[in-house]
Structure 1
Amino acid sequence: MSRAFVKEDSGAEVLPERPISPNRNLVTRRGLALIEAEIERLREELATAGGQGDRDGVARASRDLRYWTARRANAEPVDPPAEGDTVTVGMAVTLVDEDDEQRTWRIVGEDEADPKAGRIAWSAPVARTLLGKTVGEEVALPAGTMEIVAIDRESERF
């Protein structure tokens, strides 16, 4: 058989594409800045890997760059309203439980969610329960019933 018809193995790592959420890509201004910073970082990483002949590095950076470029292309920046007392994306919500234990969550875009840091994705069940609620309302959460005691409209800084 002629070598012209044999596919050569490039030696590069074959990576599956990163799945993109089917939900709307609502993002805070901080989230949008994080996406843009990640795109810039990955462009630099791709250039470095290409310059070093690192095929696996090129494959990883290319795959991740495709993901973040797609996320940037369909990003819908959301700013909390200047007035109003209804929970929306970008706001921080403070709740108190029956034992007077407080918990604060900021509702953010899916890619910037970090539950340990108090940031939950707008599409998460807890966030969906909180969206549209106001101070004084009680909400049933997996940890029990909690009352909304404060809403912070101030946007989080990058």
Structure 2
Amino acid sequence: MSVAFRREDDDAHREPVFELPLPPGPNLVTERGLKLIEARVAELQAAVDAADDAEAEKPLRRDLRYWLARASKAEVQPVAAGDAVAFGTRVTYRMGGRERTVALVGSDEADVTDDAIPFTAPIAQAMMDAEPGERVDYQGRAEAIEVIAVEPLPG
């Protein structure tokens, strides 16, 4: 019999399931960010406990492993002083004639619909350490961003 017609088991021909990739670098978080991670862990643990089907439980367990890893590596950062752009600050800036305010947070807490961007985002990195009134280069353009105001996020 041809090898093409033999099957060891049903799982041998399924697509492999990979773990969710962990972002590189430290997992810096605000107090709020840590609470969000802990809430996600609790939510997933409850879903795993309530699952009545082994197949439905597999992706839940994978997500739970991811969030447990994120929680174990979370490094709560002190509240920022707010005198310069840093992790845990709210920054108002002007770019291209348009004014915008964003919060610089950890990657797990980032939510663009809530104007919270990760501190690792290129625009956040360009503004890091800038003070109000300062202009910074961005995407090859000199003085493309004007930092208008900086304030610490609530602790």
**C-alpha separation in 2, matches of 1:117 and 1:95:** 16
Residue 42 of structure 2 corresponds to residue 40 of structure 1: yes
DSSP 3-state at the match of 1:111? coil
Residue 117 of structure 2 corresponds to residue 120 of structure 1: yes
TM-score (norm 2): 0.82
**Match of residue 54 from structure 2:** 55
- Which segments of 5 or more consecutive residues in structure 1 lack a partner in the other structure? 1-5
Q: Which amino acid aligns with 1:110?
A: S
**Match of residue 71 from structure 1:** 70
CA offset at residue 36 of structure 1?
Answer: 0.1
Q: Which amino acid aligns with 1:131?
A: M
CA offset at residue 45 of structure 1?
Answer: 0.3
Once the two structures are superposed, residues 104-145 of structure 1 have per-residue CA deviations (whole angstroms, 9 ceiling, x without a partner) of 111010111122321111111111111111111112334x61
Tell whether the 8 Å contact from 1:94 to 1:103 is kept in structure 2 after alignment: yes
Q: Which amino acid aligns with 1:91?
A: T
Residue 117 of structure 2 corresponds to residue 109 of structure 1: no
**C-alpha separation in 2, matches of 1:91 and 1:47:** 38
**Match of residue 92 from structure 2:** 94
Q: Which amino acid aligns with 1:136?
A: G
**C-alpha separation in 2, matches of 1:20 and 1:98:** 34
TM-score (norm 1): 0.81
Tell whether the 8 Å contact from 1:13 to 1:56 is kept in structure 2 after alignment: no
**C-alpha separation in 1, matches of 2:21 and 2:10:** 28
Identity rate, percent: 36
Q: Which amino acid aligns with 1:69?
A: L
More strand by share: 2
Tell whether the 8 Å contact from 1:15 to 1:63 is kept in structure 2 after alignment: no
**C-alpha separation in 1, matches of 2:42 and 2:104:** 25
**C-alpha separation in 1, matches of 2:94 and 2:38:** 35
DSSP 3-state at the match of 1:35? helix
Q: Which amino acid aligns with 1:127?
A: A
**C-alpha separation in 1, matches of 2:10 and 2:145:** 61
Tell whether the 8 Å contact from 1:15 to 1:59 is kept in structure 2 after alignment: no
**C-alpha separation in 1, matches of 2:111 and 2:138:** 18
Which aligned pairs between 1:125-144 and structure 2 lie closer than 5 A?
A: 125-142=122-139
